[in-house]
Amino acid sequence: MSPLNIEKGSSKHSAYDLRDPHAERLERHTLAIIVDNESGVLARVIGLFSARGYNIDSLTVAEVDHEGHRSRITIVTTGTAQVIIQIKAQLERMVSTHEVHDLTTEGPSVERELALFKVAGKGEPRIEALRLAEIFRANVVDSTLESFVFEMTGTPEKVDAFAELMRPLGLREVARTGVAALSRGQ
Amino acid sequence: MTGQMTGARMVIEALKEQGVEVVFGYPGGAVLPIYDELFQQNEIRHILVRHEQGAVHAAEGYARSTGKPGVVLVTSGPGATNAVTGIVDALMDSIPLVVLTGQVPTFMVGSDAFQEADTVGITRPCTKMNWLVKDTDKLAETIHQAFHVAASGRPGPVLVDIPKDVQFATGAYVEKPQARTSHYRPQVKGDRARIEELAALIETAERPVFYTGGGVINSGPEASRLLRELVAATGIPITSTLMGLGAYPASGREWIGMLGMHGTYEANWAMHDCDLMINIGARFDDRITGRINAFSPGSKKAHIDIDPSSINKVIHADVPIIGDVSDVLADLLEIWSARGRKVNRPALERWWSQIDEWRAVDCLAYKPGTGIIRPQHALARLEALTKEMDRYITTEVGQHQMWAAQYLGFEDPNRWMTSGGLGTMGYGLPASVGVQVAHPEALVINVAGEASWLMNMQEMGTAVQYRLPIKQFILNNERLGMVRQWQELLHGERYSHSWSEALPDFVKLAEAFGCKGIRCDSEEDLDDAIREMLAYDGPVIFDCLVEKHENCFPMIPSGNAHNDMILGEAETQGVIGAKGAVLV
Ligand SMILES: Cc1cc2nc3c(=O)[nH]c(=O)nc-3n(C[C@H](O)[C@H](O)[C@H](O)COP(=O)(O)OP(=O)(O)OC[C@H]3O[C@@H](n4cnc5c(N)ncnc54)[C@H](O)[C@@H]3O)c2cc1C
Ligand SMILES: Cc1ncc(C[n+]2csc(CCOP(=O)(O)OP(=O)(O)O)c2C)c(N)n1
């Protein structure tokens, strides 16, 4: 009998699906999930993603309707088209779920993230950091003689870009909230 | 009942209101208040099992054979963790269960208290929903909601964790009609346009096949009735998964046997060659599909399922229909009838003659006996001697399970209880306890392998205590037969730890439990021995010594296509390739 020769790319979605998952294009989707604000709901959502091997690129959650006891979970995920459909179906069938919206496919939407950056330095780099912050419309929310904390909102790409620019200028720490998203229009 | 009462009393009242007749359980410190209430009433029967896993499987057997949710009551910590295997089993096989667990008092939760376990945390991934109830006022409502969730849509297990102080405290009872059963209302009516599309496909298909599954059983007896009507009216061949056996009668004209890894030659070829596959309540499990990219390459696939996540999960559906089987079949029959009840008769006739050719291979034929009992023969005789009876079958997991599926005929739904998705050895004996509790007058047989049976054999004590005349039909090959078979085919006949060594004397074991033991090791005596088992009014352990090296065929080796199956010993050399070997 030949030795076991497991092919690269054996998919985790079916024991028998030995197709190369990289052959299929990965898509990035932003999902908004309205759930009952009960204990354990977030754990259920996260557990679903880890148990089924789905990706979470970003996750935010907060109560959005105190009276109705509802929370909104925003998840940014990547996967093949089939996996994205499966993720939605899995989320929809959860007992605590009220609605699942795929903001990426349901028409135009806005995405924002809030980030805080601590940048330390003196002299020219410090001045450069401040200058760039202005261009990016980041606010200074704390400052010492040798450091700033900038606050910025924007798309994840904008946050990434700013972080890249700050890195050589003395970036010490970044805190990001993750994506919040809404569909445009009414 | 309304008004103020203790949490423990509420549990009993809520169960009564839900029509619960029997609870399978095991007491302990954290549920003593509930046990105290059980003691003071006579409406709900409690069956004391011998291990919490047994309680859950018994409740599964009860649920599957009655269509009602099974109820389990166990204590905190080890009581709850012992129940976990059964809960996962029920999740995989879509069995409705309500599991009630005791918990340490709320003010001790999180302190590593005695017998504390994070029960809702542990069971979150293996329940459809679970709740930790911290407030007695919410207890009754939560239990009502638990029943609603367990039984609606795709059924499954739910769990309610009840701290001991919540059981002692007094609160307001909420009656069932007043309970908010959440917004959880799965769609049961299928999209008519899609059903219309399916009806049109049925009219023209040249090689159609019905591929039915556990969803037909889940949907209730009406679904089976409609399925039979549809099959009879169209004359389309029908196969079923392991989980769907009995929805369509094995004696039915259009029945072509079970499909899948150990399914019949004709069923698997029909699936491979069909041009229209109509999946009714089945989930394209990997035991069915084999190699995905070789799965029924030339067919259009319709898929009727109540769970949207089942559709397009594994196999792309050309005609997806989300809904309950009975609702969708009723609409399909109506629409197809309104369109003139047409099928492509000449093509169907050609299709049937092709299927008859496959049938002629007689894939379930086995070598005649040499005095030593062949397991297939033991089941064929069991079938012959019991098929007219009011019979329920449970199984353990392994070769015997597959042989039971192949050689016993199921004429009605809810008569066949087996662990399909999880494949839990140790399921069958406790499940037979649960079935017999639900159907005290019926003949309940657990077809077992000796290794599986030993996993929960303590439940014989339960059977004896409650005078449940369950029959344990053990096909004893002194091997972990299914493992041995794979080692033979896949691992160069290196039989690593697949012996059942140091087996007990099953007859003496039966005596020790206070029931009857029968041993049979010759074909000649088999019928009489089976008759003796059937005649005995009480639980029986039947030790049927069978051929030790028999393999279960037909078999589609892992990673192969449907039309690439092996029928018998001669064909087993090098059948599983390197790709297939990594699969289970
Ligand atoms: C050793 C071993 C070997 C096995 N070999 C085989 C084999 O050869 N062949 C075989 O068939 N199986 C075999 N099995 C069983 C297999 O693992 C699966 O459990 C089984 O095939 C799944 O059956 P199913 O597709 O009917 O799905 P189920 O698990 O019964 O799922 C039911 C489906 O119906 C849906 N549904 C539920 N209720 C409704 C409703 N009211 N209306 C509409 N849809 C509904 C559900 O959403 C789900 O998709 C084997 C198991 C073991 C342990
Ligand atoms: C709890 C559990 N452990 C291990 C397995 C793996 N397994 C599947 S079949 C089998 C052998 C079963 O032997 P037996 O009950 O004697 O039945 P046979 O196959 O011989 O008919 C084993 C070990 C399992 N399915 N369940």
Residue B298 domain flag? yes
Residue A8 has pLDDT above 50, yes or no: no
At a CB cut-off of 8 Å and minimum separation 6, what does B112 contact? none
Determine the atom of ligand 1 nearest the C-alpha atom of B244: 26
Residue B265 domain flag? yes
The predicted pLDDT at position B291 comes to: 87
The answer to whether A10 faces chain B, any CB pair under 8 Å, is yes
Taking the CA of residue B108 and the nearest CA in chain A, the distance in Å comes to 18
Tell me if B350 sits within 8 A of B223, measured CB to CB: no
Domain co-membership, B219 together with B346: yes
Across chain A, mean pLDDT equals: 89
B472-524 residue pLDDT tens: 999 999 999 999 999 998 899 999 999 988 999 999 999 999 999 999 999 99
Residue B328 domain flag? yes
The predicted pLDDT at position B573 comes to: 54
CATH level 3 topology of A109-183: Alpha-Beta Plaits (3.30.70)
- CB contacts < 8 A, A to B, total 79
The predicted pLDDT at position A67 comes to: 94
Domain co-membership, B265 together with B354: yes
Single out the residue in B178, B200, B224 at which a domain terminates: B178
B296-323 residue pLDDT tens: 999 999 999 999 999 999 999 999 999 9
**A18 contact residues in B (CB cutoff 8 A):** 291, 559, 579
B37-82 residue pLDDT tens: 999 999 999 999 999 999 999 999 999 999 999 999 999 999 999 9
Fold agreement (A27-102, A109-183): yes
The answer to whether A14 faces chain B, any CB pair under 8 Å, is yes
Domain co-membership, B510 together with B392: yes
pLDDT tier for residue A142 given thresholds of 50, 70 and 90: very high
**A43 contact residues in B (CB cutoff 8 A):** 121, 124
Taking the CA of residue B107 and the nearest CA in chain A, the distance in Å comes to 17
The answer to whether B120 faces chain A, any CB pair under 8 Å, is yes
Tell me if B160 sits within 8 A of B299, measured CB to CB: no
A31-86 residue pLDDT tens: 999 999 998 999 999 999 999 999 999 999 999 999 999 999 999 999 999 999 99
B145-156 residue pLDDT tens: 999 999 999 999
Mutate to test the pocket of ligand 2, among B394, B424, B482 (most ligand atoms within 8 A of CB): B482
* Percent of chain B whose predicted confidence (pLDDT) is above 90: 91
The predicted pLDDT at position A87 comes to: 97
Residue B576 domain flag? no
8 Å CB contact of A39 and B584: no
* Percent of chain B whose predicted confidence (pLDDT) is above 70: 97
Domain co-membership, B235 together with B130: no
Angle between helices B78-92 and B52-66 (to 10 degrees): 30
Distance of CA B399 to the CA centre of its chain: 16
- Domain positions in chain A are 27-102, 109-183
The predicted pLDDT at position A19 comes to: 46
B539-566 residue pLDDT tens: 999 999 999 999 999 999 877 887 788 8
Residue B413: which CATH number? 3.40.50.970
Residue A3 has pLDDT above 50, yes or no: no
Find the CB nearest B314 among A14, A90, A98.
A14
Task: Give the distance (Å) from ligand 1 centre to CA of residue B361.
Answer: 26
The predicted pLDDT at position B577 comes to: 62
CATH architecture label of A27-102: 2-Layer Sandwich (3.30)
Residue B139 domain flag? yes
Separation between Cα atoms, residue B152 and residue B147, nearest integer Å? 8
How many domains are there within chain B?
3
Residue B474 domain flag? yes
Residue B74 domain flag? yes
Tell me if B65 sits within 8 A of B441, measured CB to CB: no
The pLDDT of B408-429, averaged and rounded, is 98
Question: Which residue from B minimizes the CA distance to A36?
Answer: B182
Can you give the residue range of the structural domain that contains B72? 3-178
Separation between Cα atoms, residue A129 and residue B366, nearest integer Å? 82
Alpha helix stretches (DSSP H) within B444-522 = 450-455, 460-465, 481-490, 506-513
Domain co-membership, B257 together with B167: no
Single out the residue in B327, B359, B391 at which a domain terminates: B359
The predicted pLDDT at position B261 comes to: 95
8 Å CB contact of B286 and A89: no
Residue A178 has pLDDT above 50, yes or no: yes
The predicted pLDDT at position B578 comes to: 60
Residue B558 domain flag? no
- Exposed/middle/buried for B477, CB within 10 Å: 0-12, 13-18, 19+? buried
The answer to whether A185 faces chain B, any CB pair under 8 Å, is no
Residue A2 has pLDDT above 80, yes or no: no
pLDDT tier for residue B234 given thresholds of 50, 70 and 90: very high
